Amino acid sequence: MAASPTTAIPASVVDAGRRAGSDARADGAFRWFVAAAAFIVLCALAGTAFSMLWGGREAFATFGPGFLTSTDWDPVNHKFGALVPIYGTLVTAAIAMLIAVPVSFGIALFLTEVAPNWLRGPVSAAIELLAGIPSIIYGMWGLFVFVPIMGEYVVPWLNDHLGPLPLIGSLFSGPPLGIGMLTAGIVLAIMVIPFISSVMREVFLTVPTRLKESAYALGSTTWEVVWDIVLPYTRSGVIGGIFLGLGRALGETMAVTFVLGNTHRLAASLLEPGNSIAATIANEFAEADSDLYRSSLIAIGFVLFIVTFIVLAAAKLMLRRLSRQEGAK
């Protein structure tokens, strides 16, 4: 019986098959590599949270839920509460964002819509340089330059003009020390403005030029173009930049430590000294002479971690909701 003739496979087909197999293996290896990188990030995040929770277990077991609502901070009698640092952290961050968001919006708007081309480069470079200044430099500037100005000029003016008011008077009544939550909030605002304004500027530049030119051609003013074209187009990026600055303000340590006053006392006035979580840990961790003291400091660090995580998670959920709404439209 005669053997059937065999059909030779062209070399090009063989090479293409080998190339396809090689590409598939390379793609698989790359996929596993990037997945491992993402998994490392999740492991680091979970490990950090667990290590702080484990380090603060003694404080949580000793004081229970009252640890978060107590104003006591007495290392001699081993009584600790996290309410004052939590309050100081949230108040200073809120002051910073109230100042930084409109100023950053104005900077980004000026650089993208108003400033001449020859001025945009130098101002943008200056903002990026401000973002690179170490926080301790801001703290030293705040202590030696800004605090005397606050104590001599700003605080007396606030006491005289806003202190007598019925509703907000208690917020602006206090001794002219210069240091306090208001000062810390202003210094934080100066620190986060470069970050927020840089993000806003970058997202404003993503708006297609033809959209803005069409609006101008229809007779829109610059403000109408920004409000009706630029902001709706970049809303997600703007909100992301704001929350990025808020995360930076919540976790800032050295600059706040210099100008906040570092006093474990709950006061309604923004002119009074206070404390924050990061400043408390930086000031007292080296002096912790007992296991409960050290555990309490680690516990408030875990609280700061949770607060920051909640803020960033809220930002992510808000951005996802906005994306869904934009998709529905």
Predicted pLDDT at 4 = 52
Long-range contacts at 218-223 (CB < 8 A, ≥ 24 apart): 222/113, 222/114
Q: Which residues pair with 274 in a beta bridge?
A: 261
Per-residue pLDDT at 8 exceeds 80: no
Instruction: Give CA–CA dist 297/278, Å, rounded.
Output: 10
Predicted pLDDT at 288 = 83
> Poorest-confidence range of 37-41, 76-80, 309-313?
309-313
Predicted pLDDT at 236 = 79
Q: Determine contact, residues 255/139, Cβ cutoff 8 Å.
A: yes
> Poorest-confidence range of 23-27, 45-49, 284-288?
23-27
Predicted pLDDT at 258 = 92
The residues, ordered by sequence, that sit 6+ positions from 20 with a Cβ below 8 Å of its Cβ are none
For 159-191, what is each residue's pLDDT tens digit?
Answer: 888 888 888 888 888 888 889 999 999 999 999
Structure tokens of 72? 């006591």
CA distances from 201 to 120, 165, 192, 243 (A): 11, 38, 14, 15
> What is the SS3 assignment for 75?
coil
Instruction: Give CA–CA dist 189/104, Å, rounded.
Output: 10
Per-residue pLDDT at 309 exceeds 90: no
Mean pLDDT of 97-119: 90
Mean of pLDDT over the chain = 85
Q: What percent of the chain lies above the pLDDT cut of 70? A: 92
For 259-279, what is each residue's pLDDT tens digit?
Answer: 998 888 888 889 989 899 999
Name the more confident of 288 and 51.
51
pLDDT band at residue 235 using 50, 70 and 90 as cut-offs: confident
Please state, as a whole number, how many other Cβ atoms lie within 10 Å of the Cβ of residue 98: 12
pLDDT band at residue 77 using 50, 70 and 90 as cut-offs: confident
Residue in this structure with the two tokens 């909640």, named with its chain if needed: 310
Write down the pTM of the prediction. Answer: 0.84
Mean pLDDT of 66-85: 88
Predicted pLDDT at 162 = 87
Instruction: Give CA–CA dist 75/289, Å, rounded.
Output: 9
The residues, ordered by sequence, that sit 6+ positions from 282 with a Cβ below 8 Å of its Cβ are 253, 254, 257
Mean pLDDT of 275-289: 88
Per-residue pLDDT at 1 exceeds 50: no
Q: Which helix (H) or strand (E) holds 215?
A: helix 209-217
pLDDT band at residue 327 using 50, 70 and 90 as cut-offs: low
Q: Which helix (H) or strand (E) holds 80?
A: strand 79-80
Name the more confident of 326 and 83.
83
> Poorest-confidence range of 30-39, 48-57, 235-244, 300-309?
235-244
Which string of DSSP letters, residue by residue, matches 148-181? HHIIIIIHHHHHHHTTTSTTTGGGG-S-S-S-SH
The residues, ordered by sequence, that sit 6+ positions from 305 with a Cβ below 8 Å of its Cβ are 48, 49, 52
